[in-house]
């Protein structure tokens, strides 16, 4: 069974740039996996950042960007701010109607 | 304004059943792709099920044969019938409308979730 992989944790300095990735345990991520990205803070519902690889959801600042980098989907934050400290999840379409979330990345801004 | 409000969560014994509902406002459920996503305490998000606007349904292997997703067009709600519940089904259950006003399959708008606890 294919697993969606994300870095368990990442740290970035305020004002810095960080790229979180979303891969597959077997194979490469492409646009046909329709990668989407979500931000979640403790006790809150997820917030949609991107869908269909790089389509920004309403209200998401343009310092966030979505892309395919090599064989993975990527979420890049440029000019990180303190309130970007959150859990970030990706989800991929695996075909046959099935979606699979990654395990999430806990981002620390310090 | 688009709003999703889940209800029906609670404490249930292993092997029991529960029916979750998600009341939608600001749009018509039957015209949108709609999903259920869950999150066990302290864990990550897990995709559970989806119903396409055209009516096709799909399930994660972990719930296939036990859970049923459906729509009640008269009440504009999304439902999740959960049978043969197990301890590992304990989670906050979120309903979500597809992104881009329901035209994309990936979750876009989210409800606040309802907690299901399976325990004796």
Q: What was the pLDDT predicted at A32? A: 96
Instruction: Give the Cα-Cα-Cα angle A91, A25, A33 (nearest 5 degrees).
Output: 35
Question: Which residue in A2, A1, A64, A9 sits closest to A36, CA to CA?
Answer: A64
Write down the pLDDT at residue B67. 98
What is the structure's pLDDT at A81? 97
Average pLDDT score, chain A: 97
Q: What does the pLDDT read at residue B102?
A: 80
Q: What is the pLDDT of residue B103?
A: 86
In sequence order, the 6+-apart residues with CB closer than 8 A to the CB of B1 are B25, B26
**pLDDT value of residue B104:** 87
DSSP class of A71? T
Q: Which residues of B touch A34 (CB under 8 A)?
A: 104-106
Q: Which residues of A touch B61 (CB under 8 A)?
A: 1
Return the pLDDT at B100: 87
Q: List, for chain B, all residue ranges whose pLDDT scores fall below the cut of 70.
A: none
Q: Does the pLDDT at position A1 exceed 90? A: no
Contact A46 B45 (CB under 8 A): yes
Q: Which of B40, B45, B100 to mutate to test the interface with A (most CBs of A within 10 A)?
A: B45
pLDDT of residue B81: 98
Chain B segment 48-67 residues within 8 A of A by beta carbon are 50, 52, 56-58, 60-61
Residues A64-94 pLDDT 10s: 999 999 999 999 999 999 999 999 999 999 9
Nearest Cβ partner for B94 among A45, A52, A57:
A45
The per-residue pLDDT for B79 is 98
Strands (E), B1-76: 3-7, 10-12, 18-25, 34-39, 45-51, 57-59, 67-72
Q: What is the rounded average pLDDT of the residues A37-63?
A: 97
């Amino acid at each position: 069974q294919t697993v969606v992989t994300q870095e368990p944790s990442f740290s970035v300095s305020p004002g810095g740039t960080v790229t979180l990735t979303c891969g597959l345990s077997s194979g490469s991520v492409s646009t046909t996996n329709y990668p989407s990205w979500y931000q979640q803070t403790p006790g809150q519902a997820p917030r949609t950042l991107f869908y269909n690889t790089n389509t920004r959801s309403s209200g998401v600042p343009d310092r966030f960007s979505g892309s395919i980098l090599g064989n993975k989907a990527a979420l890049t934050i440029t000019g990180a701010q303190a309130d970007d400290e959150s859990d970030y999840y990706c989800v991929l379409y695996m075909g046959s109607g099935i979606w699979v979330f990654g395990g999430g990345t806990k981002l620390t801004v310090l | 304004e688009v709003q999703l409000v889940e209800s029906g969560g609670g404490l249930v014994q292993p092997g029991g059943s529960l029916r979750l509902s998600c009341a939608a406002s600001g749009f018509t459920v039957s015209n949108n792709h709609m999903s259920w996503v869950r999150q066990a305490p302290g864990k990550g998000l897990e995709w559970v099920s989806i119903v396409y606007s055209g009516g096709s349904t799909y399930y994660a292997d972990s719930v296939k044969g036990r859970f049923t997703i459906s729509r009640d067009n008269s009440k504009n709600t999304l439902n999740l019938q959960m049978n043969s519940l197990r301890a590992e089904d304990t989670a906050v259950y979120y309903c979500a409308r597809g992104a881009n006003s329901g035209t994309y399959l990936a979750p876009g708008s989210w409800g606040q979730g309802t907690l299901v606890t399976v325990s004796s």
